[in-house]
Structure 1
Amino acid sequence: MLKLRLTRMGSKKRPVYRIAAMEALSRRDGKAVAYLGNYYPLEEGKVTLKEEEIVKFLMNGAQPTRTVKSLLDKAGVWAKFEAAKKN
């Protein structure tokens, strides 16, 4: 099963996270199927997303983690997914 989750990058005490589509049983920083965006928590929570690709993965059954779902919800991508799912 594919999960949309965060992988950690950046240096010590300066985290940067990538939003990645990965197998559920792989390691946190393991090989990803695709990288779908970035999250910069120290820059007022700046988020960059590839919205079309994220919606495509969600439509195909990928499950977001709790943190990724909250990021998608704040960016409005989750609402786009819900609208696409109803059609």
Structure 2
Amino acid sequence: MVVIRLARSGSKKRPFYYINVADSRMPRDGRFIERVGFYNPVARGAEPEFRMDMDRVNYWLACGAQPTESVARLVKQAKKAQPEAQA
């Protein structure tokens, strides 16, 4: 099964996550199929908190990829913010 999940990066006490499409049997930070964005929970100032390639995310969701709970929440936020960016 293909999943869309977060892969942790960054240093101790400063997490940074990549949003990856991966086979569910692969390790969390291991091999992935495609990197579709990032999530920075400790972003400050003008730094973006997350960025996602929604075209690719929608493609993978249409192919049957299952997002984790945290990725599903980020996708929902990105869909809300998308009309504002286009206006």
**Secondary structure in structure 2 of the residue aligned to 1:20:** strand
- Structure 2 counterpart of 1:48: 51
Aligned partner (choices 67, 72, 87) of residue 69 of structure 1: 72
The runs of 5 or more residues in structure 1 that have no matched partner are 78-87
- Aligned partners of 1:50, 1:75: CA distance in 2, in Å? 10
1:16 partner SS: strand
Deviations 1:7-49 (A, max 9, x none): 0010111110000000111111010000000000001671101
1:20 corresponds in structure 2 to: 20
Q: Tell me how large the CA RMSD over aligned residues is.
A: 1.4
Residue 35 of structure 1 aligns with an amino acid whose one-letter code is: R
1:60 and 2:44 matched: no
Partner amino acid for 1:60? Answer: C
- Name the counterpart of 1:33: 33
Name stretches of at least 5 consecutive residues in structure 2 with no aligned partner. 81-87
Q: What secondary structure, in the 3-state scheme, does the structure 1 residue paired with 2:27 have?
A: coil
Structure 2 length-normalised TM: 0.84
| TM-score under structure 1 length normalisation | 0.84
Percent identity for Structure 1 against Structure 2: 35
